[in-house]
Every structure is written in structure tokens, then in C-alpha cells.
Chains A and B, each alone.
Chain A
């Protein structure tokens, strides 16, 4: 892009003429040089920082002439871009992040070394522990010698003298235990880390292999060679011991599973209890009763009021009267019943106020009844308001318009500020 194009686009962008842009460009460079000359840096937020940087004198070998050449010291302008600008430039690689190839933590290596050294020192201090570890390595020769004694004696199977012999030999042998070899290797291979690791690993394998042999090999020769003469003693001693171990293991596993099962049961029980308490499930009856009681209270009130008397009483009365007087009475009463009770349709209720004391609610309801409204008290359980609330409500309306008209009247009569109309299912009243 040429300077002219750049200045054109600058003039368009900034809303100035081309000449102004040209003048600005010249003055900008002059001022820029002046500021840098004074030794200050120009930091422009969102773009970067221009800073002057001194280059030292250098001596360079010139291949043409074959002599050393001195390049004088120089001041250079360095530009370090701002973070925002870098992000804008690197929008392509926005989602790329450094990938971990090898987890090679220096801390872990140190731990390994410590553990290894500790094992060596322990072996030096506590010889008993080491014996137990490496006893089994050299049981094989001991066993062979037992046999010889047994063969000579014939039928004597005493373990006591053999064990004492074995212990003595172990003490002698333990000093030459392979742990010492491992330590020597460590000292030699401290020069390079990678070599160090490999050698340690090899040594571990050498040390550990005999341990595996302990469990398997030394038992078999004892089992094979002794039972030839006496089967009962060996079987009685070994088999029950093995069985006992298995039982212990099984007990541990079962205990763990039983514990899990108990925890699960407690969890499920708690969940069911909570659900029942808050009324999502009705298993032990209290929840159901409360829900019924809530809606039964209005019935009692309604019975006393003049308007609803026919609604509630008539269905019972009319059914009784139907068989007795067929023609005379029911005709006028039936329409009165059918109008106020549309079973399917919605009905509306005006809520005048709500109290936590039942006495206050009853008092307000009785006042409203005296004035001639169809008021009743309804109990509701509200969780987030903390328990039972007694709502004072006024009678049932078929449409919102009727309810609103009644609400306006109520506002004047009862001097209540807030009144709202809500839907209610008519079947509740029955």
C-alpha cells in the first residue's frame, strides 16, 4: 500500500481532508523523532510501544578484506506490540494451546531417590525387617538339608532345631543382600539422569524377582516332599490357614459392600422422607390429610353463608326430594343448581388478605360475611414463606369480569389496598 492510498483512507476514516492528513503525517513523524530523541518511549495503548535501544560496538570479521571491522554503536527503534494487537493478529491461532508431550516433573524424581535411599538406611539399622523380606529367598537350601536329617533319622519331624539353624544362616547371608549392589550402582550412575533411571529400574527387577519366588517355590517343595511320609500333618496345618485367609478377604469385601448398601439405604430413606414432608409424595398420610383439610374449611364457612347454602345443600336435598314430590318442587330448584355449578369450567376467586394467625383471618372473614360477601378462610402451605398461611378469599365467580367488579366493590368496602383475582377449581368446594 502506498503512502497516498494510506493517507486517502486516513482522511476518510478520520473525516479530514487529504492535505490535513498529509500535514498530520509529517508533523507526527517530526514529533515522534523528537520524543524518541529526548530518550522517552512512545507507548500507544492498544497498539504497542516504540522504544529506542542502544546497540553496542561490535567487531566483525570481514571475509572480503580478511581484517576485523569495527561497527560503531547505534541507536535502534524497537517496537513491542501490545497484547490486544497481538491477539488481533493471531486470531487464526486463537484456539491453539500448548500441548503437553512429556510429564517430566523434577519433584517426582527426587521423591523416588529419597525412597530408595531410605530403604538402604533402614536395612543398615534394622536388620530384622530385612530378614523377613529376604528369608524366603534362601529357604530352598535350608529345606534340602532338613530332608537329609530326616532321611537319616527316619521318622523324626521336629521343626525347632531346623528353624534355629535357618536363622543363623540368614544373619550371615543378609549382609550380602542385593540392596548393597543397588546402592553401588546409584553412586556410579549419578553422572547422567537418564542412565540413572534405567539402571535403577534394572536393579529393582533383580531385587524383586526373588520376592516373587518366595511365595511360590519354597512352598511347593515342602508340600511335595513332606506329604510323601506324613500327609495329615501338612494338610491340616496348611490348608486351614489358607482357607482362613480367604475368609478374611471375603469378610473385608462383604463388609465394604454392606457399608455401601447401608449408606445407600440411608440416602434413599432421607430422600423419601423429605419428599413426603414437602408433599411431593404421600406415603404416610399426613400430606394427604392436610391437602384435604385445606379445602374442607371453606365448605364449612360456605354452609353458613346465605348465597352458597343452596349450592351445597341442594344436591343432597334434591336427590331426596326427587322420588317424593315428582312434579311440584324440583323444577324451580334445578335451574338454580345448574347455573352456579358448571363442573368443567373455570371459576375465579378474590383474595382479600392472608395471615399467619388463623384468628385474624377468621375475624376478617366474619366481618366480610356480615357485609354480605361470600368470604371463607383457606389454609395454604407455602415453603418459601415459612409455613402455613390463612388466606381470606371471597366467593366463586364464573368469569374474570364479575370477579373484577366484586373486587372494586371490596376495595371500597373493606379498605384493603391489594386485592387480586385468581383461578380456582370449582370441584374443590364439593
Chain B
């Protein structure tokens, strides 16, 4: 489901216009990403925890040519859903 479809459904729930819900949704995710970049961790109650974890540099290999590479370090965002969400999804 894309963001457009999701905003339309949300707008029906909120009884707002689609434009307003889209604006708020964009603000929501922008905020999340900004806070993640700054603080590396964001705990949203009843939704889940976003964390940014560090991946150290490692040796790799290009499977096509067989060259050995040193891959640079990387930071990767993770999302761990809250218990309430998981229980809600699993109880069908």
C-alpha cells in the first residue's frame, strides 16, 4: 500500500481533508527521520522503537570479479514494533 492510499484511509478515520492528513503524515515521518539522525533512538509509545545501529567496516568480495574489498562502515536504521502491535497482528 502506498502513502497515497494510506492517507486516504486515514483521512476517512480522522474526518479531515486528504491534503491536511498528508501534510501531517509527511511532518510525522520527517520528524521521525530527523530525530533518528540526531539522537539515534526514538521510542514511540504503542508504536515501536526506532534505532540506528552501527555496522563496522568489513572485508567483502565481489562475486562477479572475485576482487577482495574493504567495505566502509555504515549506519542502518532498525524498527522494533511494540508488543501491542504484534499482539494485535497475531490475534486474527
Contact = CB atoms under 8 A, between A and B. Distances in A.
B18 interface: no
Nearest to B57: A96
Contacts of B76: 81, 86, 89
Given A1-B42, A41-B1, A43-B1, A89 B28 contact: no
Contact of A37 (B23, B60, B88): B88
Contact of A101 (B2, B23, B70): B70
Contacts of A45: 2-3
A31 B10 contact: yes
B44 A6 contact: yes
A74 B86 CA distance: 9
Contacts of B70: 98-99, 101
A395 B30 CA distance: 71
Nearest to B79: A79
A85 B77 contact: yes
Nearest to A107: B65
A33 interface: yes
A406 to B, nearest CB: 65
A101 B24 contact: no
A33 B88 contact: yes
B33 A47 contact: yes
A268 B79 CA distance: 69
Given A3-B45, A77-B48, A14 B3 contact: no
Contacts of B36: 89
Interface string A70-94: 0000111111010001101111110
Interface in A93-148: 93, 96-106
Contact of B37 (A1, A32, A46, A89): A89
Nearest to B6: A42
B3 A100 contact: no
Nearest to B4: A45
A9 interface: yes
Interface in B40-92: 42-48, 52, 59-60, 65-79, 81, 85-86, 88-90, 92
B66 A104 contact: yes
A88 B33 CA distance: 9
A27 B14 CA distance: 7
Interface string A28-57: 111111011100111111111010100000
Contacts, number: 147
A293 interface: no
Nearest to A37: B89
Contact of A31 (B6, B65, B74): B6
* Size range of the chain A interface in the assembly: 35 or more
Nearest to B39: A1
A37 to B, nearest CB: 6
Given A16-B24, A75-B86, A40 B81 contact: no
A33 B85 contact: yes
A315 B76 CA distance: 90
A106 to B, nearest CB: 5
Contacts of A40: 1
Given A29-B47, A85-B33, A75 B89 contact: yes
A47 B24 contact: no
B80 to A, nearest CB: 8
A13 B31 contact: yes
A89 B68 CA distance: 26
B60 A98 contact: yes
A101 B67 CA distance: 7
Contacts of B69: 98-101
Contact of B67 (A44, A47, A48, A100): A100
Contact of B52 (A15, A74, A89): A89
Contact of A96 (B35, B45, B72, B77): B72
Contacts of B88: 33, 37
Nearest to A96: B72
A16 B3 CA distance: 21
A77 B86 contact: yes
Interface of A: 1, 3, 6, 9-10, 13-16, 21, 23-24, 27-33, 35-37, 40-48, 50, 52, 74-79, 81, 85-86, 88-93, 96-106
6 contacts: A6-B44, A75-B89, A88-B33, A90-B74, A100-B69, A105-B66
Interface of B: 1-3, 6, 9-10, 13-14, 21, 23-25, 27-33, 35-37, 39, 42-48, 52, 59-60, 65-79, 81, 85-86, 88-90, 92
Given A33-B88, A43-B1, 16 more contacts: A13-B27, A13-B31, A16-B24, A29-B85, A31-B6, A32-B47, A35-B9, A45-B2, A77-B81, A89-B36, A89-B37, A89-B52, A89-B76, A93-B73, A98-B70, A105-B65
